[in-house]
């Protein structure tokens, strides 16, 4: 999942803390909500048979207002639509804000004319998003949020709950794969997202925290921030040149990892392994061919979509919904790549990946 702004903190961590020593930078052990709420696992968000029947009888409508178009967004939308179909909830609109807060405001205004009972959304900007979505809440739509909290919004009054990834779990899985890749005693380079973005900041910090706590033998030779995803190759090339004994590199998400892989190839370093977050076709193909990508951590966007829809239905019934829900993640290697792709995105891997896995 790509980065997005928010006021959330993981036990008070900020992006700047990534520059510190991993052993000292944090003591967080879980992904916390905007006001320190403990997470509710997504598996606990369910509808009883009676509740399902009540929802089906109401002929509710829903709108899904996304921040961007991607494989991740498509899987989330499919999960939500499938759940809504099961509940006889008609989806009247699906929008793409193209990561533009002004466009999202227009999307909200357009959707409000349809007066949906439920709105699922990832708010592009917390400040302008608060102004954009408040009229929809006042109109009576039940709002369920993906990851980001609009400024000043109150749980139970303005929104029914927030659903996001278990970011600390994702960081832990990445740390474990890094450690295994270098035999618990190796040397790595660490590329982190140098911007104030909730999802990536917390994932990156969780990697450091877990390395320090559970894998003290892993030596981080260098930490390098990156703001532009297109700079992955440049940043990784510098790391490899300055630290030729690097055995593995962590990249904060898939498009940056693609640049890291390109840098290893340019340097003739097939021995340097890459660990990253989020499934992407290019990195999956590299992994399937047994090259540099050794591990990918993926969230479960389809399940996230299902959970969002369930939360919306519960809220519309007037039932209590948890304020902060987290969805699990998977560690992906070549051995389980095909299964993980299907589980996360609910479709088969690209044909090239499937072919490479069979060879």
Alpha-carbon distance 184 to 169, whole Å? 19
Tokens found for residue 300:
């479960």
Average pLDDT of the residues in 280-287: 95
Q: How many CA atoms lie within 13 A of 38 on its CB side?
A: 0
Better pLDDT: 27 or 175 = 175
Residue 252 and residue 200 in contact, taking contact as beta carbons nearer than 8 Å: yes
pLDDT at 336: 98
Alpha-carbon distance 284 to 289, whole Å? 9
Residue 248 and residue 276 in contact, taking contact as beta carbons nearer than 8 Å: no
Give the other-Cβ count within 10 Å of 347's Cβ.
13
pLDDT at 28: 57
pLDDT at 29: 73
Helix (H) or strand (E) holding 251: strand 248-251
Instruction: Give 164-220 pLDDT, tens digit per residue.
Output: 999 999 999 999 999 999 999 999 999 999 987 778 888 999 999 999 999 999 999
Residue 43 and residue 65 in contact, taking contact as beta carbons nearer than 8 Å: no
Alpha-carbon distance 91 to 4, whole Å? 25
Average pLDDT of the residues in 298-308: 96
pLDDT at 164: 94
Q: Is the pLDDT of residue 1 over 90?
A: no
Alpha-carbon distance 134 to 110, whole Å? 14
CA dihedral 130, 133, 138, 140 (to 10 degrees): -140
Instruction: Give 127-170 pLDDT, tens digit per residue.
Output: 999 999 999 999 999 999 998 899 999 999 999 999 999 999 99
Rg for the chain, CA atoms, rounded: 21
pLDDT at 17: 46
Q: Is the pLDDT of residue 12 over 60?
A: no
Nearest Cα neighbor of 62 from 37, 42, 82, 43 is 82
Alpha-carbon distance 284 to 181, whole Å? 17
Report DSSP state, residue 272: -
Instruction: Give 59-71 pLDDT, tens digit per residue.
Output: 999 999 999 888 8
Q: How confident is the model at residue 108 (pLDDT cuts 50, 70, 90)?
A: very high
Instruction: Give 318-354 pLDDT, tens digit per residue.
Output: 999 999 999 999 999 999 999 999 999 999 999 999 9
Average pLDDT of the residues in 41-54: 98
Q: Is the pLDDT of residue 18 over 70?
A: no
Alpha-carbon distance 123 to 137, whole Å? 14
pLDDT at 14: 44
Share above pLDDT 90 across residues of the chain, in percent, rounded to a whole number: 84
Alpha-carbon distance 112 to 65, whole Å? 11
pLDDT at 7: 33
Burial label for 169, CB within 10 Å (0-12, 13-18, 19+), is: buried
Tokens found for residue 317:
């019934």
- Residues in contact with 78: Cβ distance below 8 Å, sequence separation at least 6, in sequence order: 302, 305, 346
Residue 345 and residue 77 in contact, taking contact as beta carbons nearer than 8 Å: no
Give the residue carrying structure tokens 């969002």: 308
Helix (H) or strand (E) holding 219: strand 219-226
- Residues in contact with 192: Cβ distance below 8 Å, sequence separation at least 6, in sequence order: 15, 18, 200, 204, 223, 224, 225, 226, 252
Helix (H, G, I), strand (E, B) or coil at 87: coil
Tokens found for residue 18:
């990534």
Q: Is the pLDDT of residue 255 over 70?
A: yes
Q: How confident is the model at residue 6 (pLDDT cuts 50, 70, 90)?
A: very low
| Domain architecture of the chain: domains with CATH | 15-30+167-300+332-357 (3.40.50.2300), 40-165+301-327 (3.40.50.2300)
Q: How confident is the model at residue 16 (pLDDT cuts 50, 70, 90)?
A: very low
pLDDT at 35: 82
pTM of the model: 0.84
Tokens found for residue 58:
């109401």
Name the β-bridge partners of 332.
296
pLDDT at 71: 83
């Amino acid at each position: 999942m790509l980065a997005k702004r928010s006021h959330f903190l993981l036990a008070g961590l900020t992006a700047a803390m990534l520059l510190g020593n991993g052993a000292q930078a944090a003591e967080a052990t879980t992904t916390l909500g905007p006001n320190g709420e403990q997470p509710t696992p997504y598996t606990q968000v369910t509808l009883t048979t009676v509740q399902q029947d009540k929802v089906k009888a109401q002929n509710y409508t829903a709108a899904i207002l996304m921040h961007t178009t991607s494989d991740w967004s498509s899987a989330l939308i499919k999960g939500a639509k499938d759940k809504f179909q099961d509940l006889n909830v008609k989806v009247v609109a699906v929008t793409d804000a193209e990561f533009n807060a002004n466009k999202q405001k227009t999307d909200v205004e357009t959707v409000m004319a349809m007066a949906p009972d439920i709105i699922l959304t990832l708010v592009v900007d917390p400040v302008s998003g608060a102004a954009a979505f408040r009229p929809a809440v006042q109109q009576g739509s039940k709002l369920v949020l993906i990851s980001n909290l609009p400024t000043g919004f109150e749980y139970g009054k303005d929104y029914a709950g927030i659903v996001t990834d278990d970011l600390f779990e994702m960081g832990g899985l990445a740390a474990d794969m890094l450690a295994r890749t270098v035999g618990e005693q190796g040397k790595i380079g660490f590329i982190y997202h140098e911007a104030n973005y909730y999802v990536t900041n917390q994932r990156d910090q969780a990697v450091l925290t877990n390395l320090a706590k559970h894998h003290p033998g892993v030596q981080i030779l260098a930490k390098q921030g990156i703001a532009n995803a297109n700079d992955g190759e440049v940043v990784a090339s510098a790391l490899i040149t300055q630290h030729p004994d690097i055995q593995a590199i962590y990249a904060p998400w898939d498009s940056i990892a693609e640049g890291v892989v390109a840098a290893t190839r340019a340097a003739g370093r097939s021995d340097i392994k890459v660990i990253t977050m989020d499934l992407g076709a290019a990195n999956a193909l590299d992994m399937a061919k047994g090259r540099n990508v050794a591990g990918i951590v993926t969230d479960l966007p389809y399940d996230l979509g299902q959970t969002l829809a369930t939360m919306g239905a519960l809220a519309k019934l007037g039932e209590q919904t948890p304020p902060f829900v987290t969805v699990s993640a998977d560690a992906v290697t070549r051995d389980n790549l095909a299964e993980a792709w299907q589980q996360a995105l609910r479709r088969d891997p690209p044909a090239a990946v499937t072919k490479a896995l069979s060879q």
